[in-house]
Amino acid sequence: MSTSLISNPPYNTKWKLPVFAQLQPRFNDCELPPEKNANFAFILTALNKMDAKAVFILPCSVLNGGLKQEEEIRKYLIEKNLIEAVITCPDNMFESTGIATCIIVFNKHKSTTQIELIDMRNTYEVEKREQRGQYGSSSHTNRVYKKAVKVFSDEQMERAIKAIEEHTTEKDFAVSVSPEDVKERKYRLLPSAYFEVDFEPQPHREYKEIIADLNRVIEEKNGLKLTMNESLAKAIGLYEIFQAFKASEEINKAMNETLGFTGEKIIPENFIAMSKKAGELKFENGRKDSVSTILMSILQMWKQHIMYLNIEENRFLLELRDALLPDLMSGKIDIGDKNEK
């Protein structure tokens, strides 16, 4: 009787390597997972126990980059022909986190060495679900509100299953790759990295003008900084703003590395911070477990304005990206020389 499993383990959690870990069957043929992150420890443990298929739901970070040990484990999984398919999913599919995730299908009895990579980040339906507040006083825990969650329809899931079964290639959706293809990309498994991209040069504004507009929006966001207790932020629905801020930090850092040739720079964002101090909320909050009605109104207006500024910022980031890509692809910009003007 074959053994299969489906797993959605805790993401990016720390763990402790057992004594003589390398001698254990789950680890004795590959690199040991890092103690800073147990994602691959969960995977290797499952593969050691099952003899058919395993399906994991994990953060997309397992597909790309990471520590050296994680890259070596991806290499091991591919060379052993254990990965059947990878599906990248949209963000906001879970009620407790907005993080983008992926589905990895492992199969010990593959009939081919091909790996099907599917990008479903823009393939979803939106579903409204009722929830109760889970943090703070009874005024929050008794509150019922609606939350938008992204889901896959039956037709969308059938489309992905068909692509896996038939090893199809479909523009901007699915691609079937060989182990050699993955090796060329240093064992990265993000589907979008394998899609063919058509670039048609388009006229665009000067980089200086785009970045000036982008910085103007960031400066306005930075004009009001909110520092508050993390649990309280989750209770009143502001933690997602902090998550967006952290993601934006990484995007702006990457953009600045690419923009070195322009002499311009995107300024850092500094409009929100989380605190572990019980009840902390700046602008002043005198209670530890709830927020006054008046302040709730102020926070709601602030949140709506930040969302508007996020849209504006994304608009200029997209414009900047669309301006950069043709110049990068054509060789007009050589990012290898950061001092080039």
Mean pLDDT of 214-241: 88
83's enclosing H/E stretch is: strand 83-88
Is residue 115 classed exposed, middle or buried when 0-12, 13-18 and 19+ CB atoms within 10 A define those classes?
Answer: buried
Mean pLDDT of 299-325: 91
Mean pLDDT of 81-108: 91
Total count of residues recorded for the chain = 341
Mean pLDDT of 90-94: 88
185-39-3 Cα angle (round to 5): 100
The position carrying tokens 């990484």 is 250
Q: Mean pLDDT for the chain? A: 87
Mean pLDDT of 156-168: 96
Residues of the chain with CATH 3.40.50.150: 5-125+151-194
Residue 144 identity (one-letter amino acid): V
Q: Tell which wins on pLDDT, 289 or 162.
A: 162
Mean pLDDT of 52-58: 94
pLDDT in tens, 96-150: 777 889 999 999 999 999 999 999 999 999 998 887 666 666 666 667 777 788 9
Which range has the worst mean pLDDT, 33-47, 102-116, 123-137, 260-274? 123-137
Give residue 79's Cα distance to chain centre.
26
Structure confidence at residue 156 as a pLDDT band (50, 70, 90)? very high
> What pLDDT was estimated at residue 341?
47
CA atoms within 13 A on the CB side of 113: 8
5-125+151-194 has CATH 3.40.50.1100 classification: no
278's enclosing H/E stretch is: none
> What pLDDT was estimated at residue 97?
76
Report the alpha-carbon distance of residue 85 to residue 260 in Å, rounded: 37
Structure confidence at residue 222 as a pLDDT band (50, 70, 90)? confident
Report the alpha-carbon distance of residue 38 to residue 195 in Å, rounded: 30
